[in-house]
């Protein structure tokens, strides 16, 4: 009997009928011979409501109290799904992140999982019970306090439990059919990918794709966890995210640019620190890292003594707070842009094709999109623009690279990279495959 981890997002547990549907999914998997651990997000919209409540009460609520408040959303979902499971004849028990053995580094609001002890879950699985685990939360290894994992943290919980329990796969249930080449709500020509590699999904997530949290894909890649993104509301095949270059040997495309998708994100703010010398730039990065603030589009212009980066606009007060605590003279000026959007083209072999950047810039210019900053990575090109131009920019790049690629499918190469059937793993590797000395996962049954 194989073990599946099934994670249900906010829309999949949003109301009584959605909860019943999730319960039926779990019951069907058990009827097919699988054991199941369920992981849940808060009911759709409830986290935003709790954040709004805190904001009405305080401009800067204490991180500890905010974590405790936000964690109640997942607690409600876990209990509700357990009740729904019992009604369809499935024995189920809800677990907090602490109960499930999720141990974190103790950073409130942005904690990272450092260890997992799933012994209590294993005991209940052995008894034939379905554990329903609250995603998004764990317990600090140092203080014993409850901590949350940040937006998308339920995905990370599910992947970490898949690795710790040696499960066959991690199924992520959401409200769309899988991972698309762009957001289908805004790009009618977007199409579903049958399969993509961890590194490509990572770049899409950093670029703003909301299907999977970036941290969850990093963990999946580290522990070789196959992730299956599926719709809660139909039986379509979904998208597999794994360690394969789906469809054929990677060397076939070693010198060929293969576009994966276009991601976007609004609510970005650009920061420019002036008067930053080489000796103090490292201190700035270290301080922001200690606060667990993710940065993107980072550049350090030594000739100008300027440090530039983008953050989510919601993180701007936290960044300003961190910078305000740094020693006098670390920088001489701090300037913020108005909120902007970020659009990213993701694809393989970008670094081998500098002309792709030229084509990106020309396409956006011809469509009337005025650009701000441009950053080029090995597998991603990101640009900033006005927020009201983001959708136009996404549609332009998707048409220029993805839809054109699809039109050329007769070459036999265009869609080859997205065929999943030849690349899916038969099952998860044994727990013993984990590298010695890696402390993220500690299982009760691990031999070493």
Known binding residues for substrate = 47, 74
Q: Where are the alpha helices (DSSP H) in 104-231?
A: 119-126, 153-165, 198-207, 214-223
Summarize the annotated binding site as residue ranges: 7-10, 47, 74, 174-175, 185
SS3 132: strand
Annotate 420-433 with b (16+ C-beta within 10 A) or e (fewer).
beebeeeebeebee
Please list, in sequence order, all residues whose beta carbon lies within 8 angstroms of the beta carbon of residue 137, skipping any fewer than 6 positions away.
67, 71, 74, 96, 97, 98, 102, 146, 147, 148, 149, 153, 157
Can you tell me which residue has the tokens 């974590």?
67
Is the Cα torsion angle 18, 21, 26, 27 positive or negative in sign? positive
Tokens of 89: 């004849």
Tokens of 153: 């943290």
58 neighbors 152 (Cβ within 8 angstroms): no
Summarize the annotated binding site for ATP as residue ranges: 7-10, 174-175, 185
Please list, in sequence order, all residues whose beta carbon lies within 8 angstroms of the beta carbon of residue 346, skipping any fewer than 6 positions away.
200, 203, 204, 207, 259, 260, 261, 262, 263, 379, 380
Do β-strands 227-231 and 92-95 pair in parallel, antiparallel, or remain unpaired? unpaired
Burial of 402 (0-12, 13-18, 19+ CB in 10 A): buried
């Amino acid at each position: 009997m194989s073990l599946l981890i099934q994670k249900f997002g906010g829309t999949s547990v949003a109301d009584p009928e959605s909860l019943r549907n999730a319960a039926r999914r779990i019951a069907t998997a058990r009827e097919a011979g699988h054991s199941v651990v369920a992981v849940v997000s808060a009911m759709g919209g409830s986290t935003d409501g709790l954040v709004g409540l805190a904001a009405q009460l305080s401009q800067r609520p204490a991180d500890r109290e905010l974590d405790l408040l936000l964690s109640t959303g997942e607690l409600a979902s876990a209990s509700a799904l357990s009740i729904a499971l019992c009604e369809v004849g499935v024995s189920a028990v809800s677990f907090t992140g602490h109960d499930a053995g999720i141990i974190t580094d103790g950073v409130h609001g942005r904690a990272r999982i450092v260890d997992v002890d799933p012994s209590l879950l294993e005991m209940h699985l052995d008894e034939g019970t379905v554990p329903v685990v609250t995603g998004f939360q764990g317990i600090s290894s140092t203080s014993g306090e409850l901590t949350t994992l940040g937006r998308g943290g339920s995905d990370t919980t599910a992947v970490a439990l898949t690795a710790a329990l040696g499960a066959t796969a991690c199924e992520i249930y959401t409200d769309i059919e899988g991972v698309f080449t762009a957001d289908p709500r805004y790009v009618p020509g977007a199409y579903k990918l049958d399969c993509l590699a961890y590194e490509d999904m990572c770049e899409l997530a950093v670029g703003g794709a909301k299907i999977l949290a970036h941290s969850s894909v990093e963990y999946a890649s580290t522990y070789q966890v196959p992730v299956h993104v599926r719709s809660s509301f139909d039986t379509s095949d979904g998208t597999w995210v794994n360690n394969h270059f789906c469809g054929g040997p990677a060397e076939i495309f070693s010198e060929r640019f293969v576009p994966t998708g276009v991601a976007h994100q609004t609510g970005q703010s650009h920061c420019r620190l002036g008067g930053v010398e080489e000796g103090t730039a490292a201190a700035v990065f270290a301080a922001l890292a200690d606060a667990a603030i993710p940065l993107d589009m980072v550049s350090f212009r030594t000739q100008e003594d300027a440090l530039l980066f983008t953050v989510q606009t919601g993180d701007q007060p936290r960044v300003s707070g961190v910078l305000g605590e740094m020693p006098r003279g670390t920088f001489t000026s701090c300037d913020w842009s108005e909120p902007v959007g970020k659009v990213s083209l993701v694809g393989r072999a970008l670094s081998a094709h500098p002309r792709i950047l030229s084509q990106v810039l020309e396409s956006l210019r011809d469509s009337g999109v005025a650009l701000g900053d441009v950053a080029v990575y090995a597998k991603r090109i990101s640009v900033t623009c006005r927020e009201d131009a983001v959708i136009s920019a996404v549609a332009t790049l998707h048409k220029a690279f993805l839809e054109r690629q699809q039109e050329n499918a007769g070459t036999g190469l265009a869609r080859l990279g997205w065929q999943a059937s030849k690349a899916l793993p038969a099952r998860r590797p044994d727990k013993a495959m984990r590298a010695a000395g890696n402390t993220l996962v500690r299982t009760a049954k691990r031999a070493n």
